[in-house]
Amino acid sequence: MSMKKESYEKIINSYEEVSNYCNATGEPICLTKDGSDDLIVMSIRALEERENILKIKEALINVKFERAKGVRDITLEELNAAMDEIIKKA
> Does one domain contain both 27 and 52?
no
Q: How many domains does the chain have?
A: 2
> Does one domain contain both 57 and 34?
no
Region at 73 (left for phi over 0; alpha for psi -120 to 50; beta for the rest) = beta
pLDDT band at residue 1, thresholds of 50, 70 and 90?
low
Q: pTM above the 0.85 mark?
A: no
User: pLDDT tens digits, residue range 20-66?
Assistant: 999 999 999 998 888 899 989 999 999 999 999 999 999 999 988 88
User: pLDDT tens digits, residue range 4-21?
Assistant: 887 777 777 888 898 999
For strands 29-33 and 4-7, give the pairing.
Answer: parallel
Asked whether the beta carbons of 6 and 29 are under 8 A apart, the reply is yes
CA angle centred on 71, ends 75 and 55, rounded to 5°: 70
Domain that holds residue 68: 46-89
Helical ranges in the chain per DSSP H: 8-11, 15-25, 44-68, 76-89
